[in-house]
Amino acid sequence: MTLIFLPLKTNFMKYFKYLFVIVFSVSLHSQNISDHPFFIDKIYDEALSNGKSYDWLNYLSNQIGGRLSGSINYDRSVKWAKEELDLINIDSVWLQPVMVPKWVRGAPEYAHIETRPGNTISVPIAALGGSIATPSIGISANVVEVMSFDELKELGQDIVSGKIVFYNRPMDVRLINTFQAYGGSVNQRTQGAVEAAKLGAVGVIVRSMTTSLDDYPHTGSMYYEGLSLNERIPAAAISTNGADLLSSMLSLNPNIKFFFRQNSKNFPDVLTHTVIGEIKGSEKPEEIIVVGGHLDTWDLGDGSHDDGAGVVQSMEVLRIFKSLNYIPKRTIRVVLFANEENGLRGGIKYAEEAKAKNEKHFFALESDAGGFTPRGFSFDTSEEEFKSIKKFEKLFKDYGMNNFFLGGSGADIGPLKDGIIILAGLRPDPQRYFDVHHAASDTFDKINRRELELGAASMASLIYLIDNYKL
């Protein structure tokens, strides 16, 4: 067959291109497959021309700010999210109660390196989430630097007791997937205090989880499993520049001292809410498709990338469908989870409630990797189901979304996993995410409007396709 291409107007050429793809490339099992590329184009046009995600995030970040679980700001964000979802005029919006931990940072932390009595150099630190405070006068002690728990254990109690343990294992910069690099170093933050306390350490300093060299300490959760209240020791993150300085000074003089003071405190659990809204399905309302992100953040920045971006992108999916008058076959539900950062209580509670109500969740998509340029989706499902989904990949090629792969989804939707539901995660370009992750630098000025909107459009397009196929 010979195809003849004539000089045509740009818009017509675009649709002709889609027709060509439909006829000659796409062989997916849908009665209306010929409509899909056209509607996907409409989704992107709507997100880029009339999108609300950027303006929503501007308000969430700059008018409300950081939204640590149990805080007044978090409760303000719940009220805001419900009001905005109500304005979209979807079928229903409600709040799901959940008990969450309450941890307060308190007065700003302070730390310095003491090379000799009276000679000090200040370095930036931030208490790790969940950490206890130091004594009011702070802690001053000699330092042992280690790269791993094995190295710490080799030193033994005789060397570690009475000292501050300094975990200085960096993220592996050789790994292109920065999330993989993060996973390879984060245990020193989450479990470091426990391992150091077992050997008699008086405190813990952890190199920040970032490939960037800067003066921003990156906080994050740490835990005290297995330790009694009187065995717990304070733990803080040190900036990467501060960590490099401390390491260099220790190499010159192993007897230097480190001083730090922090005022963090744990309180009893408090009541808060996950925000939920949905558009009822027209043909299979009992089958639920979830799209979501977590509404809570850490307290150092305003959480624009982690996870304000995922919140507004998820809300935007439903707004796009309403704007385009799309009537889904299945129920499309947005879930703005509480307490992902320091407990995952919102995700666990949502899954518990779904099971108790015998709800049938068909598909769940989470955005919790920043608002950067979308590159693809990861899927947590069977090989067979993934082969079916991967057929969609060609429809995203023109939008720069050409990386569909098996490999996880998101923390909040993870508790829904039951061997039946398909889980997925939006995968933006990962190279800048850990520059701001859990740091005071995670602010609205780091958001690019177009990147954010492209992510929302990509999510809406995938959900549209999932809704129109029986996998």
**CATH code at 10-101+268-467:** 3.40.630.10
In the chain, CATH 3.50.30.30 sits at 106-263
pLDDT of residue 470: 62
Which residues face 425 on adjacent strands? 366, 378
Q: Which residue has the tokens 């996973």?
A: 183
Residues of the chain with CATH 3.40.630.10: 10-101+268-467
pLDDT at residue number 471: 54
* pLDDT for 37: 78
Alpha-carbon dihedral angle through residues 457, 460, 461, 465, given to the nearest 10 degrees: 180
The residues, any chain, with a CB within 8 Å of residue 445's CB and separated by 6 or more, are none
106-263: CATH topology is: Glucose Oxidase; domain 1 (3.50.30)
What single-letter amino acid sits at 469?
A: Y
Active site annotation includes 340? yes
Q: Are strands 360-366 and 284-294 parallel, antiparallel or unpaired?
A: parallel
Q: What is the pLDDT tens value at each position of the chain, 471 positions in all? A: 333 333 333 344 444 344 433 333 333 444 444 456 789 999 999 999 999 999 999 999 999 999 999 999 999 999 999 999 999 999 999 999 999 999 999 999 999 999 988 899 999 999 999 999 999 999 999 999 999 999 999 999 999 999 999 999 999 999 999 999 999 999 999 999 999 999 999 999 999 999 999 999 999 999 999 999 999 999 999 999 999 999 999 999 999 999 999 999 999 999 999 999 999 999 999 999 999 999 999 999 999 999 999 999 999 999 999 999 999 999 999 999 999 999 999 999 999 999 999 999 999 999 999 999 999 999 999 999 999 999 999 999 999 998 999 998 999 999 999 989 999 999 999 999 999 999 999 999 999 999 999 999 999 999 999 999 865
Catalytic position from the list 84, 195, 316, 340: 340
Sheet holding 360-366, edge to edge: 92-104, 265-279, 330-337, 284-294, 360-366, 422-428, 374-380, 403-406
HEC-encoded secondary structure of the chain: CCCCCCCCCHHHHHHHHHHHHHHHCCCCCCCCHHHHHHHHHHHHHHHHHHCCHHHHHHHHHHHHCCCCCCCHHHHHHHHHHHHHHHHHCCCEEEEEEEEEEEEECCCCCEEEEEEECCEEEECCEEECECCCCCCCCCEEEEEEEECCHHHHHHHHHHHHCCCEEEECCCCCCCCCCHHHHHHCCCHHHHCHHHHHHHCCCCEEEEECCCCCCCCCCCCCECCCCCCCHHHCCCEEEECHHHHHHHHHHHHHCCCCEEEEECCCEEEEEEEEEEEEEEECCCCEEEEEEEEEEECCCCCCCCCHHHHHHHHHHHHHHHHHHHHCCCCCCEEEEEEEECCCCCCCHHHHHHHHHHHHCCCEEEEEEECCCCCCCEEEEEEECCHHHHHHHHHHHHHHHHHCCCEEEECCCCCCCHHHCCCCCEEEEEEECCCCHHHHCCCCCCCHHHCCHHHHHHHHHHHHHHHHHHHCCCC
Q: What is the C-alpha separation between 289 and 280, in angstroms, rounded?
A: 10
Is the Cα dihedral 424, 426, 432, 434 positive or negative? negative
Determine if the pTM surpasses 0.75: yes
